[in-house]
C-alpha cells in the first residue's frame, strides 16, 4: 500500500514592526499547525454540514483509518507559503493556508502563519515539499 501523509508547514519569520524579524511563540505555532491540520475537515463541515468517510478521497480514507501520519516542515515567509500553496493546488493536492486573526500576536494584523497539504500519497506531496527542512 502506498504511504499517505499530511504535511504541516509553519512560517518562521514575521516583521517585528521595527525593521527586523521575529518568530511565533511555541504555543502559537502549535495552535496554528493544529488549525492547518484540521482545515480540510472543517472546510467539509462548513460546506456540506456533515462528514461522510465514504465521500472522501481514497487517500483521505487511508489516512483517517491508518494512523494520521503528519510531517512538520518550516518555511520563512508569507510569499513562500503562498507559492507552495499554489504549487500544491496546481498539482491537485488539497491545501489550506491559515490566516491568524492577530488578536494575540501580530499587532492586530491578519497574518498567514501555516499551511497544510494533504492528506495524500506521500510521493505526490514530496514532489513539491522535498526541499523544505523538517521543523
pLDDT digits 0-9 by tens, 67-113? 899 999 999 999 999 999 999 999 999 999 999 999 988 988 999 99
Q: What is the CATH number of domain 4-134?
A: 3.40.1490.10
pLDDT digits 0-9 by tens, 13-58? 998 888 888 999 999 999 999 999 999 999 888 888 888 888 899 9
Q: Tell me the whole-structure pTM to 2 decimals.
A: 0.93
Where helices occur in 68-110 by DSSP H, the ranges are: 78-90
Q: pLDDT at position 104, please?
A: 87
Per-domain residue ranges for the chain? 4-134
* Angstrom distance (rounded) from CA 59 to CA 12: 29
* DSSP conformational letter for 110: -
Write out the three cell numbers for 44.
Answer: 467539509
Backbone dihedral angles phi then psi of residue 122, each to the nearest 5 degrees: -55, -45
Q: pLDDT at position 79, please?
A: 97
CA-CA-CA-CA dihedral for 14, 114, 133, 44, to nearest 10: -170
Amino acid at each position: 500500500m502506498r504511504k499517505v501523509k499530511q504535511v504541516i508547514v509553519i512560517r518562521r519569520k514575521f516583521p517585528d514592526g521595527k525593521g527586523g524579524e521575529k518568530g511565533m511563540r511555541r504555543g502559537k505555532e502549535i495552535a496554528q499547525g493544529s488549525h492547518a491540520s484540521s482545515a480540510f475537515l472543517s472546510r467539509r463541515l462548513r460546506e456540506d454540514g456533515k462528514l461522510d468517510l465514504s465521500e472522501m478521497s481514497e487517500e483521505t480514507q487511508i489516512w483517517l483509518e491508518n494512523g494520521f501520519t503528519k510531517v512538520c516542515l518550516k518555511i520563512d515567509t508569507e510569499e513562500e507559503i503562498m507559492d507552495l500553496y499554489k504549487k500544491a493546488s496546481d498539482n491537485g493536492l488539497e491545501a489550506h493556508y491559515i490566516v491568524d486573526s492577530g488578536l494575540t500576536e501580530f499587532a492586530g494584523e491578519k497574518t498567514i502563519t501555516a499551511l497544510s497539504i494533504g492528506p495524500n500519497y506521500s510521493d505526490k506531496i514530496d514532489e513539491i515539499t522535498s526541499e523544505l527542512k523538517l521543523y
